Amino acid sequence: MASLRAHLYDLTIRLAVKGRLGGTHDVYAIRRAFEGARFPTPAGVAFTPGEVGGVPGEWAEAEGAKTEGTGAKGVRPTLLYCHGGGFIACSAQLYRPVTGRFARAGFRVFTPDYRLAPEHPFPAAIEDCARVWATLAEAGPAVAAGDSAGGTLALTTIIEARRLGLTPPVAAALFSPATDLIGRSASFRTNGRRDAMFRPEALMRLVPAYLAGADPADPRASPIEADLSGFPPLLIHVGAREILRDDSLRLAEKAKAAGVPVELTVFPVVAHAWQLAESFLPEARRSLDEAALFLHRALKAVAHPEAEATA
């Protein structure tokens, strides 16, 4: 059952965002609408500008005492977080509510400020995330996560790691990823009214701005087209009312058919990118905390495979 706050948040997003996004063809107006959101930053987290693989971004790490998930030697595992924003907007700084909560759960989180379309169209963002991952992977086992377009980029990071011969993420947590930029998911039609943030036509306006003529069936654009065999374990969270709901359901079904361990949860009522409201929404805290536990379990399984086998 959804919380009362989830209903209130759904209404707020519907009134404040959906109309603004649905009525404009101006990509920069959409960018301003995305970036106008502001959420409280979690306390007890140090946010530090950084650069990984030549890509600028921001590190998030809990301050002070040892946090949950920190290893015996006090070393926190690394998480690559790819922020959302429709490939055209947002930043590491805007996503501090999400990365800060992961940091408090025991991760060192790096969020790249990857290049944005339309100034830097496909595959610029993918190249940036792959460069970051190539550097992080050299330091040992690490994990990945992302929401919306960032969930897409987390998936394409796995695809690129495989293509480039890099060690892939141990696991990935995906929040409402866009997996089919062709727009074939049934929820594009059935959830057009129910989605609190997007109308189908508004979401699909972002695709040409991002792809700039590239083939939407390229697996790096639409990961649903990828061969998912050998993928690491995936956690997928999506809202029941989202236009992107079936992008997640189809991904989960295909991944399971390929033998990939998948944990899928469909949350009632919540608006797209609800994890940003972790200071307000119990569903946001639940989603992020479950994702953190999932990623820690995957890292533990790699570090102590004998214990996991006998558990």
Catalytic (active-site) positions: 148, 242, 272
d(CA 151, CA 287): 14
Do 114 and 55 contact (CB within 8 A), yes or no?
yes
DSSP annotation string for 28-88? HHHHHHHHT---PPPTTEEEEEEEETTEEEEEEEE-SS--TT--TTSPPPEEEEE--STTT
d(CA 171, CA 299): 8
For 87, list phi and psi in degrees, rounded to 5: 70, 0
d(CA 147, CA 154): 8
Cβ neighbours of residue 67 closer than 8 Å, sequence gap 6 or more:
76, 103, 104, 105, 106
Structure tokens at 53: 């693989």
H helices then E strands: how many in the chain?
11, 8
DSSP tag of 230: T
